[in-house]
Structure 1
Amino acid sequence: ELPLTTALFSALRVGTRPSRTFWAAASAGAAVVIAFTVQQSGGALSSADAYLFGALLICAAGYTEGGRLARVMPGWQVIGWALVLCLPLTVPVAAIALAYEPVELTAHSVTGLLWVAVGSQFLGLVVWYRGMAAIGIPKASQLQLAQPLLTLVWSVLLLGEHLTPAAPLTAAAVLVCIAVTQRARG
């Protein structure tokens, strides 16, 4: 679970020391989300879960480093330098991917790509890292627990999805956990 893992990495890398109340609420929030996810998926793990676990560790380390750097440089520079440093990996991988899946450029696809790259990702991460610098990496990381809840809400509103009875209960439990982590002394 990314919020809890980011808080753990922050404690190890940055030396933050959240209270026991914070850790209890963060652990409870992670447990609630994991239990809901496992219940919804039928409880079976697959080899893809190993890749997800690796991604979890990489993302938590990246968020921690980004949050640490955002204390001394603007968020747009943190993101910009991360992108520049990733170019030696991303350019060859993109070239290989393009060889297997050709791109058909349309106004719609270019607009979508620009929105995802500039709006959703770049500007979103600028705000995210500013928040991490302002309130601290552990507390900011716990706000991500709301992300699955927002995904459920938007899937109902935009796609007409139907919620299981467990979804609102899970949402309420997670919101309580988030509130406790935000009020816990650091």
Structure 2
Amino acid sequence: MAALAGAAAVLAFTVRQSGGALTTADLYLFGALLVCAAGYTEGGRLARVLPGWQVIGWALLLCLPLTLPVAAVALSVEPVEPTARAVAGLLWVAAGSQFLGLIVWYRGMAAIGIPRASQLQLAQPLLTLVWSVLLLNEQLTVAAPLTAAAVLVCIAVTQRARG
């Protein structure tokens, strides 16, 4: 019930921010959420029997038939001129932030369970919100911190119920 309440809070916030109706972009985001949830769940299951680096490595390898053609099309439409700084940033995001981070994430999911870890991950957008205010001087509406607080309460309830 708490997880559904948290989802309802986010949905209400999204509808309010979209001017009272969901947009096509919101539906795409929801579709991406479902695909990512399925991927995380399967990754968590695999992390019970494989080390995290193998889970993410296999996932990346299995995605190549989709990502290579999409990248080729994207590069043909929008050619790039990579600088050393841009390549270094890309390598950090790919190898450091994502690959190493997901190794730890999958290990954590295997240790505490997929449902519990998934609920904890709901705090990630809230942390992004805080950092955007602190580092980028982002201006928030009143609804953003209220929704964030509601989601945090829902996370706490789900974690307590599972413990």
Q: Which segment is superposed worse, 46-55 or 175-184?
A: 46-55
Matches within 5 A, 1:73-84: 73-84=50-61
Unaligned stretches of 5+ in structure 1?
Answer: 1-23
AA aligned opposite 1:146: A
TM score, norm. by length of structure 1: 0.81
Residue 70 of structure 1 and its aligned partner are, at CA, apart by 0.4
- Three-state SS of the structure 1 residue aligned to 2:162 is coil
Change (3 A) 1:37 1:45: closer
Answer whether contact 1:29 1:145 (CA < 8 A) is retained: no
Between the two proteins, the alignment pairs up a number of residues equal to: 163
1:70 to 33, 43, 47: 47
2:152 to 175, 178, 181: 175
Q: Which residue of 1 aligns with 2:128?
A: 151
2:77 to 93, 96, 100: 100
Q: Which residue of 2 aligns with 1:87?
A: 64
Residue 140 of structure 1 and its aligned partner are, at CA, apart by 0.6
2:138 to 138, 142, 161: 161
Q: Which residue of 2 aligns with 1:136?
A: 113
CA distance in structure 1 between the partners assigned to 2:145 and 2:23 by the alignment: 27
Q: Which segment is superposed worse, 122-131 or 32-41?
A: 32-41
CA distance in structure 1 between the partners assigned to 2:143 and 2:68 by the alignment: 43
Q: Which residue of 1 aligns with 2:14?
A: 37
Residue 102 of structure 1 and its aligned partner are, at CA, apart by 1.2
Calculate the aligned-residue CA RMSD, in Å: 1.5
TM score, norm. by length of structure 2: 0.92
CA distance in structure 2 between the partners assigned to 1:86 and 1:166 by the alignment: 37
Q: Which residue of 2 aligns with 1:5?
A: none
Residue 184 of structure 1 and its aligned partner are, at CA, apart by 1.1
Unaligned stretches of 5+ in structure 2?
Answer: none
| 2:98 maps to 1:124 | no
AA aligned opposite 2:46: L
Residue 87 of structure 1 and its aligned partner are, at CA, apart by 1.1
Residue 39 of structure 1 and its aligned partner are, at CA, apart by 1.6
Residue 56 of structure 1 and its aligned partner are, at CA, apart by 2.1
Q: Which residue of 2 aligns with 1:6?
A: none
Change (3 A) 1:170 1:45: closer
